[in-house]
Amino acid sequence: MTHQKLYEGKAKILYSTKTENILLSVFKDDATAFNAQKRGTIPGKGAMNCTIASHLFRQLETAGIPTHFIEQVSDAEMQVKAVTIIPLEVVIRNVAAGSLCKQTGLELGTLISPPLVEFYYKNDELGDPLLTRDRLLLMKLATPEQVDQLAAMALKINDILTHFFQECGITLVDFKLEFGLDHQQQVILADEISPDTCRLWNQSETDPSRRVMDKDRFRNNLGEIESAYQLVMQRVLAHSI
């Protein structure tokens, strides 16, 4: 391979390409949870997540959201624009689940309206802590204008994706976004949107464990992970904005 490995994360590897400002993102089958304390492999996950994320990035671009996506070049490989990642995980919640329930006592499934936007510090050593706006500014992780822009973009993306998944018969419970600055210092959507980074509930299932179509199947040992991801991929690919 003529490409040079620039960065290896838990779910993807980034390589340089011959073209300046264009990178190759290779999606892996490796799965981690609970800050990498739980590790495993989900056969076919890399290709499914790359395909799902590519389709979702295309929908978002169509709806006017700037993203790092250029094109899907093979099953598990995506060409992307080079960005400087803003070290924040922006989480949007429409329904209470996961850490929100654990930390607040809110009951699983409680509707959240208007949606909640949260910022977490992307830092494995510190365990990705939840930040306040003041802490985020204190740490100079973004400017006040950027924080407002990130929250506004996150809410607009949530609006687009909530409607999109609704058409697929899937409830978008919550999800995580990452943003970066491109070579013109513009904030654009980066990383991936996939069943690894979203909670997705199948609206045709009522049973709380059967409805789960995302990485919670891996986190909570629910089994049938590949078939759940496959079903998400089928439904996503069958719909367009």
The DSSP letter of residue 234 is H
Do the beta carbons of residue 70 and residue 82 sit within 8 Å?
no
The nearest distance, CB 197 to ligand C5P, in angstroms, is: 4
Site string for ligand C5P, 124-143 (x = CB under 6 A): ----x---------------
Site string for ligand C5P, 158-197 (x = CB under 6 A): ----------------xxx--------------------x
User: Does residue 69 bind ligand C5P (CB under 6 A)?
Assistant: no
> Using CB under 6 A, which of 12, 55, 199, 235 touches ligand C5P?
199
Binding residues among 31-60 for ligand C5P as defined by CB under 6 A: none
User: Does residue 202 bind ligand C5P (CB under 6 A)?
Assistant: no
Do the beta carbons of residue 184 and residue 99 sit within 8 Å?
no
User: Does residue 217 bind ligand C5P (CB under 6 A)?
Assistant: no
Tell me the C-alpha to C-alpha distance, in Å, between residue 79 and each of 25, 37, 51, 189, 191.
6, 30, 12, 14, 12
User: Does residue 215 bind ligand C5P (CB under 6 A)?
Assistant: yes
The nearest distance, CB 173 to ligand C5P, in angstroms, is: 7
Tell me the C-alpha to C-alpha distance, in Å, between residue 137 and each of 7, 128, 181.
27, 16, 17
User: Does residue 89 bind ligand C5P (CB under 6 A)?
Assistant: yes
User: Does residue 91 bind ligand C5P (CB under 6 A)?
Assistant: yes
DSSP bridge partners of 240: none
Dihedral angle over CA of 184, 186, 187, 190, nearest 10: -40
User: Does residue 198 bind ligand C5P (CB under 6 A)?
Assistant: yes
Q: How far apart are CA 118 and CA 181, in angstroms?
A: 20
Task: Give me the phi and psi of 36, to 5 degrees please.
Answer: 70, 15
Which chain residues interact with ligand C5P by CB under 6 A? 89, 91, 97-100, 128, 174-176, 197-199, 215
